[in-house]
Chains A and B, each alone.
Chain A
Amino acid sequence: MTTTAPTASTGRTAPAASPPAPETRRRRSVRTAEKRWGLLLAAPATLHTLIWIGAPIVVAIVLSFTAYDIIHAPEFSGLENYATIFTDGLFWLSVLHNVIIAAVGIPISMFLALVFATMLNRALPGRGVFRVMIFLPHITATVAVAMIWLWIYSPSQSGLMNVVLGLVGIKPLPFLTNPDLALGSVILVTIWQGIGLKMLIYLAALQGVDEQMYEAADLDGANFVQKFFRITVPMLKPATFFILVTSLISNFQTFDLIYILTEGGPANSTSVVTYRIYQTAFQEFRVGLANAQSVILLLILVVLAFLSRRIVGGTDDD
């Protein structure tokens, strides 16, 4: 390293010699070193993100105004792609599926997460084990999770769902191959997978709730349900809003699950935005159009992310 910092070393070895001049010089050199190292240490990560996130965003926006099929050079086509999206029923159907999955799945999984979190907030034996069991679906790769559920939903008599239904005398159901059942089956998996993280955030928020409130309520003779709705729920409002927004964001990024479970089918009944973009780009090779779809997705997510950042900003204490 050829870092030229002579003043720093002289300033150190001659502390008592000539009082003010070297001292300020030393401090100034420290400031220069700080500035230089600040830039140097921040540079690799900053350049990396400029190249692999910044540039792609620009490319996506530019290509969204072109007709491009990977083989031929992109050709400027104005707003044609956006006009196409406007009338593309399948794209909006995919958006609708995201909305349905969110509208049905998120509230249910949030409610269950809250119930688990309140229960696990007590000093119970084995609560670490419960927490792990509930959190495992989140830590496991979605591809593996989807494979497991593919097997559970298997239409044969040996799929677990159908084994269980068989125990109560219901005939095997085609969970993933019937257009009326497929989306519901997908939602069930998202609920199961989503409970863990939500529970964790709720648990973290519950640690911040004042125990004395519950003690006071106990003295007033409040029962569990009263305490839950009068103390817990209101105190957890910020966490609830945060979970809601982040869940909405990750819902719009569902891909692996659909790719393995249904490939968007049957009859497009489970297609979601990311899967539609994947198809447009890598199966139909309409890359310009796919980029326009990506820009729409980006707009949806940026709006949601801004909302969440505002909330995080409000509760952050740095």
Chain B
Amino acid sequence: MTTDHAPSITGTAPSATRARDHSLRRRKRTSNALVLAFLIVASVIMAAPFLWMAVSSIRDPTELAQVPMPLIPKDLRLENYSEALGRAPFATYARNSLILATAAAALNVVFASACGYALAKLRFRLAPAVFGWMVACIMIPFYATVIPVFLMVRHMPLFGGNTLMGVGGTGWIDTWWALIVPGAVSPFMVFLFRQFYVSTPSELIEAARLDGVSEFGIFTRIITPLIRPGLLTVALLSFEAGWNNFLWPLLVTTSDELRVIQVGIASFRQEASTDWHLLMAGTTLAAVPMIVLFLIFQRYFVQGFASSGIK
């Protein structure tokens, strides 16, 4: 398609152009209205499951049994939440998820930023090898390594009654070590940090060196403050991954004391299999914190997801 003539519209007769512009604008307005109508319907359908969750979490259980059930609940029943909290320790689950997600965010920000900075801005002999290794690691899915990681955690020497050879006890199983350590650094976050650091000015590093600022000082006090949006992006993505994680906490925790909220609602499901009003109250507790965080920090999530494409 040729676009070369496009900018020279003004060259034609002015009155004809104005008439055409007018009809174009009118056509645009009607098509905008159609698009808007479609989007309203479609996005309401997309959001309907969440609305259904929220509505069900405050419904009276007797209403759920009615045939036909009224789509809009007659009165709000917030007791569902206190009842759910009484049936399972959701507060403990939420606290555990909060600790896990915060630790994942903090550790990734610290260690992945250091590595990302080194890869982007410092010349050292192993840099190409380290970068290649990180990229290779991104391609390795957790599901392919989960069994060996589980075995390594279980046979961690000198923990949980294990001998030096890693046998006899339970190792890190059902400890914070198991929940936090294996996920402390994500190679993808290293990659993302490198991308953020690459776009910072190297002249600043040279100038700081001339001023005698230490290499560590340049990293922490001069360059890293420049990528604050990047720090927030990585922190939020890691937090989200930590809060939403399921398989790993499922495998390595056995007690309620360490259970995280996603595993908590999964096991609550067995327990309260027919009490949908309680199950939806629990699910709301597991889903809403991420939704709120997303609404607040939308821009950074979107930036992170758009630059990742992979999740």
Interface residues of A, Cβ cutoff 8 Å to B: 3, 5, 8-9, 12, 30-31, 33-39, 41-42, 44-46, 48-50, 52-57, 59-60, 63, 116, 119-120, 122, 124-125, 127-130, 132-145, 147-152, 154, 157-158, 160, 163, 166, 192, 195, 197, 200-201, 203-204, 210, 212-213, 215-219, 224, 230-231, 242-243, 246, 249-250, 252-253, 255-256, 259-260, 274, 277-278, 281-282, 287, 290-291, 294-295, 297-298, 301-302, 305-306, 308-309, 312, 318
Contacts and interface: CB of A to CB of B under 8 A. Distances in A.
Given A42-B130, A147-B283, A163 B148 contact: no
Nearest to B216: A37
Interface stretch (B75-83, B84-92, B227-235, B285-293): B285-293
Contacts of A217: 1
A133 B144 contact: no
Given A8-B212, A148-B52, 6 more contacts: A38-B126, A48-B111, A119-B35, A143-B244, A144-B283, A291-B148
B1 A230 contact: yes
Contacts of B111: 44-45, 48
A-B complex: 3 closest residue pairs judged by Cβ atoms: A38-B124, A38-B122, A45-B115
B147 to A, nearest CB: 5
14 contacts: A3-B214, A41-B117, A46-B130, A116-B39, A122-B32, A135-B294, A139-B301, A147-B269, A148-B50, A163-B69, A201-B306, A212-B3, A219-B6, A306-B139
A28 B244 CA distance: 48
B1 A213 contact: yes
B122 A41 contact: yes
Nearest to A255: B247
B92 to A, nearest CB: 17
Given A134-B43, A287-B147, A42 B185 contact: no
A124 B39 contact: yes
B122 A294 contact: no
Nearest to A31: B123
A76 B11 CA distance: 82
Contacts of B139: 301-302, 305-306, 309
Given A157-B67, A216-B6, A42 B266 contact: no
A282 B70 CA distance: 43
Contacts of B19: none
Given A42-B118, A253-B141, A318 B195 contact: yes
A139 B219 contact: no
B28 to A, nearest CB: 9
Given A119-B38, A140-B291, A152 B49 contact: yes
A132 B6 contact: no
Nearest to B24: A218
Nearest to A224: B31
The DSSP consensus for interface residues of chain B is helix
A192 B112 CA distance: 33
Contacts of A224: 31
B13 interface: no
Interface of B: 1-3, 5-7, 9, 20, 24, 31-32, 35-36, 38-40, 42-44, 46-50, 52-53, 56, 64-69, 71, 111-112, 114-115, 117-119, 122-127, 130, 133-135, 137-149, 151-152, 181-182, 184-185, 187, 190, 195, 198, 209-212, 214-216, 219, 240, 243-244, 246-247, 251, 262-263, 265-266, 269, 276, 279-280, 282-283, 286-287, 290-291, 294-295, 298, 301-302, 305-306, 309-311
B122 A246 contact: no
B219 A37 contact: yes
Contact of B140 (A143, A151, A298): A298
B251 A282 contact: yes
Contact of A130 (B43, B142, B276, B294): B43
Given A295-B144, A297-B143, A250 B310 contact: yes
Given A116-B39, A158-B69, A308-B310, A134 B269 contact: no
A213 B6 CA distance: 8
A34 B122 contact: yes
B115 A46 contact: yes
A270 B49 CA distance: 22
A252 B46 CA distance: 24
Contacts of B243: 141
Given A57-B145, A260-B269, A45 B114 contact: yes
Contacts of A124: 32, 35-36, 39
B67 A34 contact: no
A132 B306 CA distance: 14
Contacts of B282: 147
B204 to A, nearest CB: 15
